[in-house]
Structure 1
Amino acid sequence: MADLLFVAIFLAGFGVLFWYVVAAPRSQVLGKTLVCGPPDSGKIALTFDDGPGEATPLILDILKKAGIRATFFLCGQNVERFPIYARRIAEEGHEIGNHTYSHPRFLWKTPGRIAWEIERAQNVIAHHTGRQPKLFRPPYGIRWFGLFPILNRNQMRVIMWSVNSKDWRSPAPRIVSRVLRGVTPGAIILLHDGVPPHQSGDRNGTVEAVGEIVGTLGERYRFVPVSEMR
C-alpha cells in the first residue's frame, strides 16, 4: 500500500511539473516568454486570439472609436476565410501575431509539424496583410520541445498573458469582472475575436465585454500593442 501511495504521489507531482513546463503562462523552462510588461509603465495590452472571425469587425469598431491599438494573433486558416478582416486589422494600425495555421495542440507534435504550422501561417498572413509577424502565441498556451529553435530561426518571440479572460466560456459580465480583477500595470490581457478553425461558437460575449473593459480601464491605463510594452 505504501508503495502504491508513493507511486501515486510521484506521478501526480510529475504531472504538475510537466504541466508547468509546457503550459503555465509564466514558465520560462523551454524558452523566453513574455507574460507582462513593466509594472511601473502604466501600460496594458489587449490581445485577441483565434481570429479573424465574425466578431472581428465589431471589436475593431470599438477599438477605433476609443483610439486604441491592440495585438491580434491570427490563425492562417481563418485569415484565408476572412481576408478582408485581416487586412482591416493591419490597415487600422493594430499589431499582428502568428497563432499557427490550423490551431493544433503542440503536445507530441514533431518539430517538422510545428515548423509547418508556423511558417504556413506566416506566409498566409503576409500574403493577405503585407505583414510578417514577429510575435507568436501557441494554441492553448502549450509550448513544446523544438518550438523555440523554430521561432528563433524566424526571429519571433513568444507572447503569453497575465490576465486570462476565459471569454470563450463566459458571458460578458463575468468576462468584465475577471479582467478588471486581474489587471495590474503591465498586464497582457487574453481575449478572443475568433473561433479556432473547424470549431463552432461565437464571441458575442467578448464583443459586449470589450466596450466596458476599454471604458473602465482607459481611465487608469494606456492601451498599447504588446511590442510597446517596455
Structure 2
Amino acid sequence: MTLRPKKMQLLRWLPKTVVLTRGPSRGKAIYLTFDDGPHPDHTPALLDLLRAHDARATFFLIGREAERYPRLAERIVAEGHQLGNHSYNHPAFHALSHDQQWEEIVRTERVLTSIDGRTQHRFRPPRGVFSPALALRFACSRRNLAYWSYDSLDYQGRAPTDLAEQLRQRPPSAGEVLLMHDDSDCSRHMLAELLPEWRGMGFTFPPLPAF
C-alpha cells in the first residue's frame, strides 16, 4: 500500500462533479477526514486533540453508530467539524443492488440531518467501492463522491510512530485530503506527533468545503 494510491491518482482525472479527491489549496489547507465513527472510546480523545491544535475535520460517520452515540455526533458538530455519510451499516457495497446502496445512503442522511440540520452531506463509499450508476446518480443531483488523495494507512496495524515517520518522508501537500479512521487510537497518536509539525510548516486544517 502507498500513501498516494494509483487508483486515487487515476480518479483525479474524473470531473470534480463526480469524484472529489482534493480540496482547495488556498491557505495551505490540508483536509483531515475520519471514517467509521463515532466511537465512544476513541472519538472523544481525537476531538480533544483536534481542539488543542485548532484543527477542524470531516467525520464520515456510519449511520448506525451515529444513532447509537448521538451525543458524540452532536459534539463533533458543536466543535466545528463537518459530518459526512459513510453508509448505514458499512456493508460490502459491491454485493448490494443499486437500490440497496441508495437506501444505505438515504437512511444515514436522515440520521445526520437529525444531528446537524443539513439536508445533504458528502458521501464516502465503504472501502472506496462505487459503481458507475451510483456516481452518475450523485452527479445528476449535483453532488460528488468524497474520496481522498493521501492514505495514512492507519488501518494496517502498524505502530503509529512508524506510520508518522512514513508520512514525514512523503509529507502531504496543500489541498490533500487525508484518509484516516477514528475506530482506533492509531490516527490520534500519529496526529499528536504530526499536527504541531504541520502547523509549524504553515498548514491549516479546515473541514472539506460545502457543496
For 1:120, the equivalent position in structure 2 comes to 107
Determine the structure 2 residue equivalent to 1:222: 204
2:179 corresponds to 1:190: yes
> How much does 1:106 deviate?
1.8
Instruction: Give the whole-Å Cα distance in 1 for the aligned partners of 2:182 and 2:120.
Output: 18
Contact residue 19 and residue 144 of structure 2 kept, 8 A: yes
**Cα–Cα, structure 1 residues 29 and 157, in superposed 2: closer, same or farther, change >3 Å?**
closer
Deviation at 1:146, TM superposition (A): 1.8
Change (3 A) 1:133 1:116: same
- In 2, distance between residues paired with 1:162 and 1:178? 16
Distance 1:182 1:139 in 2: 25
Equivalent position of 1:73 in the other structure: 60
The number of residues matched between the two structures is 199
Is the CA contact 1:164–1:179 (under 8 Å) kept in the aligned structure 2? Answer: no
Structure 2 equivalent of residue 42 of structure 1: 28
Deviation of residue 137 (structure 1)? 0.8
Aligned-pair identity (%):
32
Q: In structure 1, what residue type is equivalent to 2:165?
A: S
Question: Which of the numbers 164, 176, 181 marks the counterpart of 1:176?
Answer: 164
- In structure 2, relative to structure 1, the CA distance for the partners of 1:29 and 1:111 (3 Å cut) is farther
Provide the TM-score with structure 1 as the length reference: 0.78
Q: Is the 8 A contact 1:176 1:209 kept in 2?
A: yes
Cα distance in 2 for partners of 1:56, 1:154 equals 31
Contact 1:34–1:158 (8 Å) recurs in 2: yes
Please name the residue that 1:110 is paired with: 97
Counterparts of 1:58 and 1:124, CA distance in 2? 23
Partners in 1 of 2:64 and 2:179 — Cα distance? 20
Write out aligned runs for 1:9-158 (5 A): 24-26=7-9, 27=11, 32-38=18-24, 41-53=27-39, 54-152=41-139, 155-158=142-145
CA 125–39 in structure 1, closer or farther in 2 if over 3 Å, else same: closer
Preserved CA contact (<8 Å) 1:41 1:186: no
Matched, 1:210 2:196: no
**What is the rounded CA distance, in whole Å, between the counterparts of 2:120 and 2:159 in structure 1?**
31
Please tell me the residue identity of whatever aligns with 2:193. Answer: E
Q: Output the TM-score relative to the length of structure 2.
A: 0.84
Quote how far apart the aligned CAs of 1:178 are. 3.2
Structure 2 CA distance, aligned partners of 1:105 and 1:24? 18
Aligned-CA RMSD value: 2.3
Flag the structure with larger Rg.
1
Distance 1:76 1:210, change over 3 A: same
> Residue 18 of structure 2 contacts residue 139 of structure 2 at CA under 8 Å; is this kept in 1?
no
* TM-aligned CA distance change 1:126 to 1:40, over 3 Å: closer
User: Contact 1:115–1:150 (CA<8 Å) still a contact in 2?
Assistant: no
